[in-house]
Amino acid sequence: MESIRRGRREALHGARREAAHEARREAAHEARREAAHEAHGDAREQAREQHGERPRRRTHRWRRAFLASLVVTAVVAPLSAAADSQIPAPKPAALPALTASTLTGVYAANRANAAVAADMAAAHGDAHRAEADREMAEPARHLLTFDGRGPGQATEVFGDLADADHVAVLVPGSDTSLDTYPRFRAAADALHRQLARTAPPGTRTAVVAWLGYSTPDTISTTVLTTDRADEAAPRLREFIRGLHGVTGPGATVSLLCHSYGTVVCARAATRLDIDDLVLVGSPGTGADTATGLHTPARVWAARGKDDWVAEVPHVRTDVFGVTVGFGTDPISPAFGARVFAAGKGGHSDYFTPGSVSLTNLARIVLGDTAEMTRA
């Protein structure tokens, strides 16, 4: 039975990856074709104006392509949703108020909860989730939160949170769950190691991997709207407020947001007590400008040269009464963020050890921006 479930799960993931790849390829092709069409059309309209004729109103084909992508996601999303089983797990552990003195007890309670979740997943016949939960329950793991139900959520700490001078909070994008958590955890661990290598002597740092919301699937209609971000933003705001009750009064807090996570962070940023807001691989934030985020933090943005998000139309449009898309490109001059170099990497490469992007992210967290590589 488990082999059948595993085979179906692997087939599903493979189909979703292929569908995502095909959709991105078609979008890129349509964007290039539309750019050529627009350039040719501009020349025609200039000629018409020179002859005293009224310019024609052209239909933007990239908008049609964007709407066509909604049709694709509407077909694929129900298939993936139907294949997702609800994995049994206990309710999250009852936790004391988060303070420096309660950290040890909070970590222990969440590890114990993860161990119970592992047993329940194993009894359910899901060996993959059981192993993921079992890893969460290991003694070295520092979990501020854990919820093994459904896709699952968790918040993990790297370093000594109570004594840190600089704290970075990572917010992930689509397709992040307990089943794919090792990928997100690797990013947080890579940043923590980079900070340890580059921080001045005596400077203490901590990184928090915040998977505190139900992320959308890459191939779904939800990834094109702010619905999941609207649900997640209050939780992120509450978490950041609680974080300040643990860290020292002089500690800086940087919010590092990736992909759809940038939409979440933008929704949460208004007057949030953070020092830096970093947007990488962003499809847009829903705001027209950095000023529109209403944050006192420094706003940074970057995108790797091979990131497919560059081909996504940065628009907001109404489809049957639902607003889809996220508007202005955060790395554009019109948005007004501080743009830094992210190297040649793709959408999943911002936290790759040794990369330009990871080096610059660590510099932002440490406040050492004078040596940053600008775009």
- pLDDT(28) > 50: no
Q: What is the mean pLDDT of residues 250-275?
A: 97
| Residues found in the chain | 375
- pLDDT(19) > 70: no
The C-alpha atoms of residue 314 and residue 282 are separated, in whole angstroms, by: 10
Q: What is the mean pLDDT of residues 68-78?
A: 43
What residues does each domain of the chain span?
2-83, 151-371
3-state SS, 354-375, equals CCHHHHHHHHHHHCCHHHCCEC
- pLDDT(368) > 90: yes
- pLDDT(21) > 70: no
3-state SS, 50-96, equals HCCCCCCCCCCHHHHHHHHHHHHHHHHHHHHHHHCCCCCCCCCCCCC
- pLDDT(140) > 60: yes
How confident is the model at residue 6, as a pLDDT? 47
Q: Which helix (H) or strand (E) holds 34?
A: helix 2-50
Query: pLDDT tens for residues 164-199?
Result: 999 999 999 999 999 999 999 999 999 999 999 999
Regarding the domain with residue range 151-371, which homologous superfamily does it belong to in the CATH classification?
Answer: Alpha/Beta hydrolase fold, catalytic domain (3.40.50.1820)
Of the candidates 169, 185, 189, the residue with the CA atom closest to the CA atom of residue 177:
185
- pLDDT(242) > 70: yes
Q: What is the pLDDT confidence band of residue 32, given thresholds at 50, 70 and 90?
A: very low
Q: Any idea which residue has 């050890």 for tokens?
A: 353
The C-alpha atoms of residue 233 and residue 361 are separated, in whole angstroms, by: 22
The C-alpha atoms of residue 270 and residue 199 are separated, in whole angstroms, by: 29
Buried b (16+ CB within 10 A) or exposed e, 251-273: bbbbbbbbbbbbbbbbbbbeebe
- pLDDT(213) > 80: yes
Residues in contact with 155: Cβ distance below 8 Å, sequence separation at least 6, in sequence order: 143, 144, 145, 146, 208, 209, 210, 211, 212, 239
The C-alpha atoms of residue 341 and residue 357 are separated, in whole angstroms, by: 6
Instruction: Find out whether 236 and 204 touch, Cβ atoms under 8 Å.
Output: no
